[in-house]
Structure 1
Amino acid sequence: MARPVRLPDEVEPMARFVEETPPREIVREAVKRLRGGVSEREMMVAAALAVMRSTEMPFVHHGGPLHPVAALPAVEATMGRMEEGLRWLPLIQDVALANRHIHDPASGPSIMPEIEPLGAGSADATVEAFRRCLGRNYTSGAEHHFLWLLENAQGKAVEALLSVAVDNYRHDEHKLIAAVNAFRLLDRIGWRFAPVLLRGVVRYNFMPSVWAKAPPAEGVEALIERHRLKEGVRWEGEDADERVDGLRRSLVEVSLEETPERIAVALRGGMSLMGAAEAVSLAASDLFIGMETASPMGIHFMTGANAIRWVCRAHPPLGVRALLMWALGPETRGAVRSRKRPVEAPGRAGLEEVTEAIQANDGAQAAGRAAGYLASGGDLRALLRLLGEFAARDDSTEMHAMKHHQAMVEEFEGARPSLASVHLVAQAKEAALHAGKGTGVYEEAREALM
């Protein structure tokens, strides 16, 4: 008879708090517990494990544990940029979303059962058995094999799941983002929670995708073979600003079909893996700034580029394939195909003018004014705090705003100074697309916190 997964004794009570508190009470009760001595880390762990074990992962990537868990690295980082009285707001947003999904009949409640690890004789054979489950969408079989790998060969477990997620990127960017952000979260809270936290990620990656039709992976493999990219690619090193900027501009201007080829040619021509990842990320922000969109949630070609850059840095052998897959992602394809309008040259602007454009939900104006603010030497810390606060107020996008905010901050900080500002300009535009459209959690939390 199946038994529900039980968490460590020190975690179980807080996880049950997230699971069992009525949604109408969760904001004030979370504030009460944080004020009563529950640490931020304890609340993060409770939210992540509760929503992972008590909701189903819908293949349509809304509801369930995907976004509450994937947002937690961003939540932790953004808390450090909030004004002191509202520091906990990003965390309360995440706890409220986890609780809402648990109580939402579309994804919960569900019970994650205890299961036995299942090996296939050796680590390599178990990796092969794990990957074979993908062809038939055997989610349960994949979970059994993955748990065995976690116990007996953790490095191979991570590499195997990441490899599947990279291959799945062409079907759905969320597949890779879920894996990367779960790994990043475990680096913060401890890998002892991996057997619960990663089971949902495995399950999601072995489900059919909402976008079943995708470009064939054979094109990527052919590029890797033709340009001999399995060996000889520099993982990191100096790349001239002009080369990185040249690839960036090329990726914005060329056709969808030419995009993977341009990345492959740049790598074969001597650009480092990290240099190409920087160019891809810059191009993603350029595409977003120029496209006609009213959706604050169609941002995964940017957060996906951020995840791919993490792959290039942390697991470089998978980096080449990940970079080429970026061009095949459904939201990249949508961004490249969408009608673009020219971006006006920025004039001088103050922080108040940036704020006004965001509050008016004018994405183009917010982007232009943010560019002007940065070009005229505006206070970077003040802009980061402003954008972080808009992201933390939002409860209409399932934490997309929070994830995009942190991804753009990381990309800004990781890019060369001469090119970096485009990421914060893109973030200002995204903030304008969601500002004020869902702030109920913010309003209740602010009353409780201040």
Structure 2
Amino acid sequence: MKRPHNINERRGFLKSAGLAGATLSMTDFGFLGRLPAVSAADTKLPSNAVEFSPDIEPLVRLLEDTPREQVVETFAAKIQSGTSYREVLAALLLAGVRNIQPRPSVGFKFHAVLVVNSAHLASLNSPDSDRWLPIFWALDYFKSSQARDVQEGDWTMSAVDEASVPPSHRAKDAFRAAMDNWDVDAADTAIVALCRTAAAAEVFDMLAHYGCRDYRSIGHKAIYVANAYRTLQCIGWRYAEPVLRSLAYALLNHEGQPNPATHDLAPDAAWRVTQERLASLPAEWSHGRLDAGATRDLLDTLRTASPSDAVAVTADLMVSGVAPQSINDALFLSAAEMLAQQPGIVSLHAATTTNALQYAYRTACGDETRRELLLQNAAFIPYFRESMQGRGNVAAKRINVSDDAGESDGAASVDEIFAAVSSDRSRAAADMQAFLASGGRPESLIHAARRLVFLKGNDAHDYKFSSAALEDFYAVSPQFRNAYLASSAYLLPGSKDRDNGLVDRVRDALA
């Protein structure tokens, strides 16, 4: 990850955001004198709290202890003085897992943890001049979530119970037993042993298995598995232990319901069908034929199927020799269609959960795990449709996957499309699809959308959705990509939306 190394490059960052003329000299940082010094003693934690390695603990403590109204200025100064992108990203993730509890749901305030990878992806895919903006936003967002956690009881991750950590030769079995029994304490020590002794890829496969087994928290478990692993790929596996402890704890959240290990509960129904169908899939299931007709048929089936039926139909397609790509296309398109039918929190999570499950599917090594992920992704689509029905009207709209781009008064420009997003999302979606059908470059839409998230985004979901949808454009088969990207207009920010003030805060911090 390249970051600005000198004053001229930093000026370029501000100019690209419309902030030419800002002065970035360190001599202008008068606010530094107002900040308390961080001594070695200040980095000591209570004995019952988990403590990180000495290379990152002081930076995490700085983030934890800095008031929200000063966090942008404080970290601007740290970055100016040489703190790296990876160090700031690591501090963000570690501060989140130590201070934010994935209860009562793996969502809400816990988005401070879930969104770290989304901010990282936005940064990674932005011009060099913009790459710090998502990180500054995430720093501020962490402080708001930290305050909410304090209001809800001020939870802090405890130190590892070293006496209960199983030996390395029992780590895998201990972890599986704990997760299968939904045993939080046993899982906490087992994941520590697993993290210390197993390969990262092997650990990911096991977590992906449990991340897709139930629909509780509307997909956030699968999202956390993917996002935690992806962020660790950037900051380094040496920081994995506290992150994976938080993740195991999140995966065992059953939201006040009875223990799923001993009860037959609705959120687990499709998982049981998935386990029954795994053995019926042929060894060559991943080498099928591309079939656009099968994609359209599955898309239609998923509009009315139950979660369990969706698993069965998808398994039948795999047995018949349809390629996973054609199945995945239907899953992406189903999630995109829901955005138009009911733009909001549920359809958004259909897209972000599909993104996470598809990442896990592409990344997992185990054949059985990959089959589980594909079947469970199919199951989650009807779960999301059921959740939408519980939230009100679901419009009878269908995604346009025909060769006809739809009616449009000529090809609108990128600026016109994003202006329409602020006032008429249906028109913006049609214009976006027409723009792409007429040969417009998708990258021009994608880059504009990311810049608008930086300028207009106010919520973790703005980053989560945009990072997922804009990434998945390239995962969809070419003939369906335009329809997929056009549907994102229902939730992306528009150019006429109110600015979030982030750029002004960063400008002032660097002035």
Give TM-score scaled by structure 1 length.
0.87
Partner Cα separation in structure 2 for residue 51 and residue 2 of structure 1: 19
Gaps of 5+ in 1: none
Aligned to 2:319: 268
State yes or no: 1:243 paired with 2:294: yes
Task: Give 1:150 shift.
Answer: 1.5
* 1:26 alignment partner, SS class: helix
Q: 2:189 aligns to what SS in structure 1?
A: helix
What's the Cα RMSD here? 3.1
The aligned residue for residue 149 of structure 1 is: 194
Q: CA deviation at 1:262?
A: 2.5
Which structure 2 residues correspond to residues 100-249 of structure 1 after superposition, within 5 A?
Answer: 100-104=144-148, 105-106=150-151, 109-115=154-160, 116=162, 118-119=165-166, 122-134=170-182, 138-154=183-199, 156-169=202-215, 172-209=218-255, 215=266, 217-222=268-273, 225=276, 228-236=279-287, 239-249=290-300
Aligned to 2:444: 382
Q: Which residue of 1 aligns with 2:361?
A: 312
Bigger CA drift: 279-288 or 175-184?
279-288
Q: In structure 2, do the counterparts of structure 1 residues 449 and 366 end up closer, same or farther at CA, with 3 Å as the change threshold? A: farther
- How far residue 93 of structure 1 moved from its aligned partner, in angstroms, is 1.0
- In 2, Cα distance between equivalents of 1:318 and 1:332: 25
Deviation at 1:182, TM superposition (A): 0.6
- Go from structure 1 to structure 2 and tell me whether the alpha carbon gap of 1:216 and 1:29 turns closer, same or farther (over 3 Å shift): closer
SS of the counterpart of 1:235?
A: helix
Q: What CA deviation, in whole Å up to 9, does each residue of 1:62-107 have, x standing for no partner?
A: 444x323332333223224445543311111111111222233345
1:373-416 per-position Cα deviation (integer Å, ceiling 9, x unaligned): 2122223222111111222235532x212121121122111222
Matched residue, 2:375: 324
Change (3 A) 1:370 1:35: farther
Partners of 1:153 and 1:229 in 2: CA distance: 30
Of 175-184 and 384-393, deviating more is 384-393
Aligned position for 1:23:
68
Contact 1:172 1:210 in 2 (8 A): no
Larger-gyration structure (1/2): 2
Task: Find the aligned partners of 1:54 and 1:192 in 2 and give their Cα distance.
Answer: 19
Local SS of the residue matching 1:413: coil
**Post-superposition CA distance 1:126-152 (Å, at most 9, x none):** 134322441xxx323211111112223
Task: Provide closer, same or farther for how the CA distance between residues 63 and 252 of structure 1 changes in structure 2, counting only shifts above 3 A.
Answer: closer
Q: TM-score, normalised by structure 2?
A: 0.77
Aligned-pair identity (%): 21
Q: CA deviation at 1:11?
A: 0.9
The question of 1:403 aligning with 2:460 is answered no
> Could you tell me which amino acid in structure 1 is paired with residue 78 of structure 2?
R
| Count of residue pairs the alignment pairs up | 442
Contact 2:122 / 2:450 at 8 angstroms: preserved in 1? yes
* Structure 2: distance between partners of 1:447 and 1:111: 33
Matched letter for residue 164 of structure 1: Y
Change (3 A) 1:111 1:325: same
Find the aligned partners of 1:96 and 1:250 in 2 and give their Cα distance: 43
- Partner residue, 1:43: 88
How far residue 119 of structure 1 moved from its aligned partner, in angstroms, is: 1.5
Shift in Å at residue 438 of structure 1? 7.4
After superposition, the Cα gap between the structure-2 partners of 1:255 and 1:167, relative to the gap in structure 1 and judged at 3 Å, is closer
Counterpart contact for 1:311–1:322, Cα < 8 Å: yes
Q: 1:379 to 1:191 in 2, by over 3 A?
A: same
Q: 2:138 is matched with which residue?
A: 94
Q: Which amino acid aligns with 2:447?
A: R
CA distance in 1 between counterparts of 2:151 and 2:433 reads 41
- The answer (yes or no) to whether the contact 1:27–1:441 under 8 Å persists in 2 is no
Instruction: Quote the offset at 1:267 in angstroms.
Output: 1.2
| Separation (CA, whole Å) in 2 of partners of 1:16 and 1:340 | 50
> CA separation of 1:223/1:17 partners in 2, compared to 1, >3 Å: closer, same or farther?
closer
**Aligned AA for 2:143?**
N
Equivalent residue for 1:334?
A: 387
